[in-house]
Amino acid sequence: MTSNPTPSRNDSFDIVVIGGGAAGLSGALTLGRARRSVLVIDAGEPRNAPAAHAHNYLGREGIAPRELLAIGREEVARYGVVFRDGRVTRIEREHDGFRVRVADGTTMTARRVLVATGLADELPPVPGLAERWGHDVLHCPYCHGWEVRDQAIGVLASGPLSVHQALLWRQWSDDVTLFLNDAVEPGDDDQRQLLARGITIVAGAVDRLESKEDELTGVVLADGRVVACRALVVAPKFSARAEPLAALGLAAAEQDRGGTVVGSAVVATDPTGRTEVPGVWVAGNVTDLFDTVATAVAAGTRSAAAINADLVAEDTRLAVEAS
């Protein structure tokens, strides 16, 4: 992707959007159409880059993730939004706004900031797993279930939620195996549910994954057994990319589901993504670990509308004071 010219140290914008994924681009589009001066800074590391296709996005079903972002950039640029490739390292309060610092040493100022940096997936340390992530090692049935329907699907247990995960994936195939991997011991009720749905339970630690001709073929257990498998479901730990917010006193907080910690996210104080730091909003996976492409787009739009309304109120106040 080609970026617009790099801003100088003295460049100032109404809004700096940090992160050029679905949430960030959606927010930038809304703000550009609101006739705001907007800069998008993007590190070029979309979370869904390993996947061949994005799904459940009406009108763009099955599109390649990077193609979607390229189209989004073209659309956003029509409204005068500026793009810069780079990694934001720090956001600091400065007067009534913010100074945003990039890894190459350049800085720019903004009246408001929208952080849409997403999250990082921390994968289980099983040899062969990371290499197949986004291909036939998966986590979201709504993103990938259709593509592996009726195949042999394994679920790698990581805790109590893995039982629910196996039952959920049973919707897409009647050949589902739950690998306990010494991470969970299903209770009597859980076992009854799994067995009633025809889900195979395999005890023992998983040693590695086996593949052939760039396709997953099986799961190898520590005792040498090999269980045939064409897709493996895992539960990554979702860690919000919140490092640039540290200087503002904002940090990612642990998030749990059903009593199990699933990752960390920056907590918003209202549905628009407003944070406890006035002038800073968050949108997408950095604040909602389970946002999909479609819901991240909606989140970016909501945040942008709130930011513009906040600036309108400030512009009005300043106009009244100057009159």
Tens digit of each residue's pLDDT (9 = 90 or more) over 110-119: 999 999 999 9
b/e map of 125-147 (b: 16 or more CB within 10 Å)? Answer: ebebbeebbbbbbbbebebbbeb
pLDDT given for residue 292 in this prediction: 95
The whole-angstrom separation of Cα 286 and Cα 211 is 33
What are the φ/ψ torsions at residue 252 (nearest 5 degrees)?
-70, 140
Q: CB-based contacts of 137: which residues, under 8 Å, 6+ apart?
A: 123, 129, 209, 216, 231, 232, 233, 234
- In this prediction, residues 265-293 reach a mean pLDDT of 97
Is 4 a residue whose pLDDT tops 80? no
pLDDT given for residue 257 in this prediction: 87
pLDDT given for residue 225 in this prediction: 95
Is 74 a residue whose pLDDT tops 50? yes
pLDDT given for residue 194 in this prediction: 97
Which tokens is 186 given? Answer: 């299903």
| Type of residue at 313 | A
Is 1 a residue whose pLDDT tops 70? no
Q: CB-based contacts of 288: which residues, under 8 Å, 6+ apart?
A: 265, 295, 296, 299
The whole-angstrom separation of Cα 19 and Cα 33 is 18
Beta strands 97-102 and 88-94 are antiparallel
Query: Which position has the higher pLDDT, 8 or 120?
Result: 120
The residue ranges of DSSP E strands in the chain, in sequence order, are 12-18, 38-42, 82-85, 88-94, 97-102, 107-115, 119-122, 137-138, 153-156, 176-179, 200-202, 206-212, 215-221, 226-228, 231-233, 237-240, 253-257, 260-265, 280-282
Q: Which of 3-7, 19-23, 74-78, 127-131 has the lowest mean pLDDT?
A: 3-7
The whole-angstrom separation of Cα 53 and Cα 219 is 25
Q: Give the HSE-up count for residue 100: Cα atoms under 13 Å, Cβ half-sphere.
A: 29
The whole-angstrom separation of Cα 281 and Cα 3 is 24
pLDDT bin (cut points 50, 70, 90) of residue 48 is: confident
Q: Taking the CB of residue 270, how many other CB atoms lie within 10 A of it? A: 10
- CA 162 from centre of chain: 20
What are the φ/ψ torsions at residue 133 (nearest 5 degrees)?
-60, 130
Is 174 a residue whose pLDDT tops 80? yes
Mean pLDDT of the chain: 94
- The pLDDT tens digits for 92-126 are 999 889 999 999 999 999 999 999 999 999 999 99
| Type of residue at 322 | A
Beta strands 226-228 and 119-122 are unpaired
- The pLDDT tens digits for 300-322 are 999 999 999 999 999 999 999 99
Q: What's the residue count for the chain?
A: 323
pTM score: 0.92
